[in-house]
Amino acid sequence: MLDRIRASLPALPPAEQRVAKLVLADARAFASLPVGELAERAQVSKPTVVRFCRSVGYDGLTDFKRKLAGRVNEGVPFVHRAVDEDDKANDIVVKVIDNAVSALLKYRNDAAGQAFERAMVALAAAVKAGRRIEFYGVGNSGIVAQDAQHKFFRLGVTAAAISDSHVQVMSATMLQPGDCVVIISNSGRSSDLIDVAEIVRKKGAACIFITASGSPLAAMGQSGANQILLPVDHPEDFDRYSPMVSRLLHLLVIDILTTGVALRVGKELRPMLQDIKRNLRSKRYAPQG
């Protein structure tokens, strides 16, 4: 239904296009709001809202909203957007996996290669120069920061993952040009991370933002040559659901950055990585016999 609206958008009159964009921006809200508020939000008249519904093939606003509500899955608030209360175990397995796969494939198509190139270059330059690399996140994003620190540690890079806001401020204050910071945030609205990003900017260090488009942190990621935005957008409402798909996408971005940096640092890394694997073998397998 939303795909049909999106496809018909160019053919609609300008006023009806505003109604269509309102649907696409928040289909759940559109299905529940009265016509007066819909008209006000789209800055059109009430009859225009009804005409839009007929233009895209429905009998009127009531018919459109009823069918829209049936197609937009509310999920279980604060649990998961893709499941229903009465789902069996097998349904949960399929829905959670399908939801994750869909988000990953969408991100593959949306990811900005040029932004990743800039981020990899900044991180590799810091690695080669022996400068500081730090990962900042709070809450769930702090766990992603720890994963990033571990991955860079395996490359022989001394990096830090900091999730305490006071320590972030202290550490950012000691940064210098040539250092590199990666800030991870699902919402992009954390006041602690916004404050520390401003400190990083003033210190002249490179700053990579892994966050949602249109957020305050995303705006900071587009504010200068040393600021790099890696937008991560998904349908998971951070106010209503536990971070699941968002966490997977953030971990994926860290994997991409780690791989890109490893390739840019050079082949001298590979013997060390081989030694690590060899020395870990005794920890991983039980003795034969």
- Residue among 188, 195, 248, 192 at smallest CA distance from 214: 188
Residues 6+ apart with CB under 8 A from 9: 17, 20, 21
> What is the predicted pLDDT for the residue at 70?
62
> What is the predicted pLDDT for the residue at 284?
67
> What is the predicted pLDDT for the residue at 210?
97
Distance of CA 76 to the CA centre of its chain: 21
Contact 201, 183 (CB under 8 A): no
* Strands of 57-215, DSSP E: 133-136, 159-162, 180-184, 206-211
Which pLDDT tens digits describe the chain residue by residue (289 residues)? 787 788 888 889 999 999 999 998 888 788 888 999 999 989 999 999 999 999 988 888 988 888 787 666 555 554 565 666 677 888 888 878 877 887 888 889 888 899 999 999 999 999 999 999 999 999 889 999 999 999 999 888 889 999 999 999 999 999 999 999 999 999 899 999 999 999 999 999 999 999 999 899 999 999 888 999 999 987 666 655 566 888 999 999 999 999 999 999 877 777 777 787 777 777 766 665 5
Place of tokens 């910071």: 181
Q: What is the pTM of this model?
A: 0.71
Give 265-274 pLDDT, tens digit per residue: 877 777 777 7
Give 89-122 pLDDT, tens digit per residue: 888 888 788 778 878 888 898 888 999 999 999 9
Instruction: Give me the sign of the Cα torsion angle 246, 201, 128, 166.
Output: negative
Residues 6+ apart with CB under 8 A from 87: 95
> What is the predicted pLDDT for the residue at 105?
86
> What is the predicted pLDDT for the residue at 101?
84
> What is the predicted pLDDT for the residue at 78?
46
Q: Domains of the chain, with CATH numbers?
A: 2-71 (1.10.10.10), 111-281 (3.40.50.10490)
